[in-house]
Amino acid sequence: MDGLELTSEDRVLVLGATGFIGKRLVKELAAENIKMRILARTPSRAEGLVPEGADAEIVKGDITKKESLKNALKGIHSAYYLVHSMGGKSLLKNTEFAEKDKKAANNFVSSADKTGLKRVIYLGGLGEKGEGLSEHLESRAEVGNILSSGKASATILRAAVIIGAGGASYEMLRYLVERLPVMTCPKWIKTRIQPIAVHDVVRYLTGCLKNSETAGQTFDIGGPDIMTYKSMMDQYAEARGLAKRIIIELPFITPLLSAYWVDLVTPIPSGIAHPLIEGMINEVICKDNRIDEFVPIQKTPFNEAVKIAFSEETVGPGVSGF
């Protein structure tokens, strides 16, 4: 199919390799003997991620700068796009990330169109337009649309909360449940979600690269369990062997108030926590399971994913530098 198939000679670019998903993906690609190029703002952070013997080039760059992308994309067959600009600590609402992410995606497309990139694989968020989508989820969808507008064939994967050590949403869940036997929560505690284990996400990401029929398609990915945020907290406590948490619903708590609360109780930077908490109002469950036809995997149950995540704290990738 028009050179979309990856051969053993082809090289794959990983954007966001130092992140929660990216660092696990690099290990998996290395295990599959796939040649890589990693673009990182701080190359020293990427060096330790590449397993011994892997064919991985590391280049310094920033995706908000066109020049960085043009150089990084030279000779690349397919690229993983695993970046976002949320972050930082401020008591004020983070309003800049969507603009930065839009600019970065546009830079990527214009550079990729010039270098002849064949495929881009992007991991964004679940959530439907027209349902009062949060700014964060709106921005994730916008990036997907921009990437799909280029000449490279885009595969868009959409996920809800990803369970694994170091993931921003997972760490919020972990700190809140571990630290607070009694919690007051906003009404969005009843919103339904479909969490997914991080190693399942990585299997979908690599599976899509290996199956060129996924090119040009959008897939929802999720674990086998659909639950509310409240039952997710209950099930986390159970999986960890903690006493049942008392969760009191206070409908008047706003997203901003919840975010300040998360600032106090957890080390997650407000620049990430605020947009994520705003998104808790949106139901994030898979609308279809077509991915099963293209990348069939045994999905990890939620309680198993929590146990694995907890063990990753000590023997795996561990928590990121919050």
Binding residues (CB under 6 A) for ligand NAP: these are: 16, 18-22, 40-42, 45, 62-64, 82-85, 104, 123-125, 140, 159, 161-162, 167-169, 320
Q: What is the distance between the alpha carbons of residues 114 and 103, in angstroms, rounded to a whole number?
A: 17
The distance of closest approach from Cβ of residue 320 to ligand NAP in the complex, given in angstroms and rounded to an integer, is 6
Give bridge partners of residue 183 from the DSSP assignment.
247
Please identify the residue of the shown chain whose CB is closest to the bound ligand NAP: 19
CB closer to ligand NAP, 5 vs 281: 281
Is 48 or 251 the residue whose CB approaches ligand NAP more closely? Answer: 48
Q: Which is nearer to ligand NAP, 184 or 224 (CB)?
A: 224
Q: Give the nearer residue to ligand NAP in terms of CB position, either 85 or 231.
A: 85
Q: In the complex with ligand NAP, which residue's Cβ is closer, 184 or 303?
A: 303
Query: Of the two residues 7 and 129, which places its CB atom closer to ligand NAP in the complex?
Result: 129
Q: What is the rounded CA–CA span in Å between residue 111 and residue 152?
A: 11
State the nearest-atom distance from the C-beta of 157 to ligand NAP, in Å.
Answer: 8
Instruction: Read off the tokens for 320.
Output: 């990121």
The two three-digit tokens of residue 232, written as one number? 């997710």
Distances (CA, A) of 210 to 1, 6, 10, 34: 13, 7, 12, 10
Shortest Å, Cβ 45 to ligand NAP: 5
49: Cα separation from own chain's centroid: 18
Which residue in the block uniquely carries the two structure tokens 């063990």?
311
CA angle, 117 then 122 then 126, to 5°: 155
Supply the minimum distance, in Å, between the C-beta of residue 21 and ligand NAP.
4
Closest approach of Cβ 284 to ligand NAP, in Å?
A: 9
279 phi, psi to nearest 5 deg? -75, -10
- The helix-helix angle for 198-210 and 302-315 (nearest 10°) equals 100
The least CB distance from residue 61 to ligand NAP, in Å, is 7
